[in-house]
């Protein structure tokens, strides 16, 4: 399969740089007049897919909101992945997995192997156990044309306690994550191994030009804008995949309104990709 980074660049150039979050939060189900059960989950999700996946370069289902409904919720997630692909969107599954050894490989097999029922284009992963612990996921992704976005500089207030901590060589933990991803991406026009960097971190001295995509949550309702992204990422802004969830989903449940919201968001960030 064509590498994820190559496919993502093609999608971003064709559709604009937008990752549309699909987060079936209980409060959003209520706003849409739906019940907080598997039936409401399916109606919400498939409506969101219909409105967003034909416009956005990628969609990002948040796995936790499907998992809370048990096996019925996972079945909805599987249908949403296939339907999103049918509409031309790449699927980034927000699962933030992280473990070691055979368990890390099992997570890789669950999401990044083509034979898996939940095979997606990319997943999010946590490097808390060390970047080496993610090797099974990164290696499996490389072999199947998939990608991995690794948490690096997040916007939550608790993040700096770990991400800004200094390693023995004097750099930060976040910096070591970014450097490891840059090494993995070396030689690619756009590598398949990305970092998650919040749109509202305010600024950083870290080198964000990792040769791979930068998944940037926090745009739209959370305060991130095209201008703030440009200021934070500088030359690396071309590789930014801004992620918006609540602002887009707030336009629902009307499919046309969802589609218009996605088109508007993509246009706002289009200049970054040039």
Tell me how far apart the alpha carbons of residues 61 and 77 are, in angstroms, rounded to a whole number. Answer: 8
Q: Closest Cα partner for 197 from 147, 245, 151, 244?
A: 151
Instruction: Please report the pLDDT score of residue 107 as a whole number.
Output: 98
Instruction: Please report the pLDDT score of residue 76 as a whole number.
Output: 98
**pLDDT above 90: percentage of residues in the chain:** 88
pLDDT band of residue 165 (cuts 50, 70, 90) is very high
Tell me how far apart the alpha carbons of residues 229 and 236 are, in angstroms, rounded to a whole number. Answer: 10
Rounded average pLDDT over 68-80: 98
Residue 100 token pair: 């070691």
Q: For 32-51, how does the pLDDT look when each residue is reduced to its tens digit (9 = 90+)?
A: 999 999 999 999 999 999 99
Q: For 213-227, how does the pLDDT look when each residue is reduced to its tens digit (9 = 90+)?
A: 999 998 866 667 888
Domains and CATH numbers, the chain: 4-273 (3.20.20.70)
CA 31 to chain centroid, in Å, comes to 24
Tell me how far apart the alpha carbons of residues 193 and 177 are, in angstroms, rounded to a whole number. Answer: 11
Tell me how far apart the alpha carbons of residues 191 and 184 are, in angstroms, rounded to a whole number. Answer: 8
The region, left, alpha or beta by phi > 0 then psi within -120 to 50, assigned to residue 36 is beta
**Active-site residue (options: 79, 96, 238, 264):** 96
Higher pLDDT, 227 or 257: 257
**pTM score, two decimals?**
0.97
Q: Closest Cα partner for 273 from 4, 2, 10?
A: 10
Q: Please say if 43 is a catalytic residue.
A: no
Instruction: Please report the pLDDT score of residue 272 as a whole number.
Output: 74
At 176, which helix (H) or strand (E)?
helix 173-185
At 48, which helix (H) or strand (E)?
helix 38-52
Instruction: Please report the pLDDT score of residue 273 as a whole number.
Output: 65
Q: For 182-195, how does the pLDDT look when each residue is reduced to its tens digit (9 = 90+)?
A: 999 999 999 999 99
**pLDDT above 70: percentage of residues in the chain:** 98
Q: For 21-35, how does the pLDDT look when each residue is reduced to its tens digit (9 = 90+)?
A: 999 999 999 999 999
Instruction: Please report the pLDDT score of residue 227 as a whole number.
Output: 83
Q: For 84-131, how does the pLDDT look when each residue is reduced to its tens digit (9 = 90+)?
A: 999 999 999 999 999 999 999 999 999 999 999 999 999 999 999 999
């Amino acid at each position: 399969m064509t590498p994820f980074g190559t496919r993502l660049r093609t999608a971003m150039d064709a559709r604009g740089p937008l990752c549309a979050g699909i987060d079936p939060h209980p409060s959003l189900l209520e706003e849409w007049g739906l019940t907080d059960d598997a039936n409401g989950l399916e109606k919400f999700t498939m409506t969101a897919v219909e409105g967003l996946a034909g416009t956005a370069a990628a969609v990002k289902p948040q796995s936790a909101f499907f998992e809370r409904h048990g096996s019925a919720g996972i079945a909805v997630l599987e249908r949403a992945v296939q339907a999103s692909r049918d509409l031309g969107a790449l699927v980034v599954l927000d699962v933030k997995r992280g473990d070691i050894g055979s368990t890390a490989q099992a997570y890789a097999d669950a999401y990044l192997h083509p034979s898996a029922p939940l095979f997606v284009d990319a997943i999010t992963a946590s490097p808390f156990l060390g970047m080496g612990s993610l090797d099974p996921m990164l290696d499996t992704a490389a072999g199947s044309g998939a990608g991995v976005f690794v948490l690096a500089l997040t916007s939550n207030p608790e993040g700096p306690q770990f991400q800004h901590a200094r390693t023995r060589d004097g750099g930060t933990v976040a910096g070591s994550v970014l450097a490891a991803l840059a090494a993995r991406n070396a030689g690619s026009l756009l590598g398949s191994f990305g970092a998650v960097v919040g749109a509202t971190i305010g600024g950083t001295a870290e080198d964000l030009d990792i040769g791979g995509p930068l998944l940037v949550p926090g745009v739209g309702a959370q305060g991130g804008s095209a201008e703030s992204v440009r200021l934070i990422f500088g030359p690396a802004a071309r590789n930014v995949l801004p992620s918006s969830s609540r602002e887009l989903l707030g336009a629902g449940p009307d499919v046309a309104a969802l589609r218009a919201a996605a088109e508007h968001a993509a246009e706002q960030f289009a200049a970054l990709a040039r």
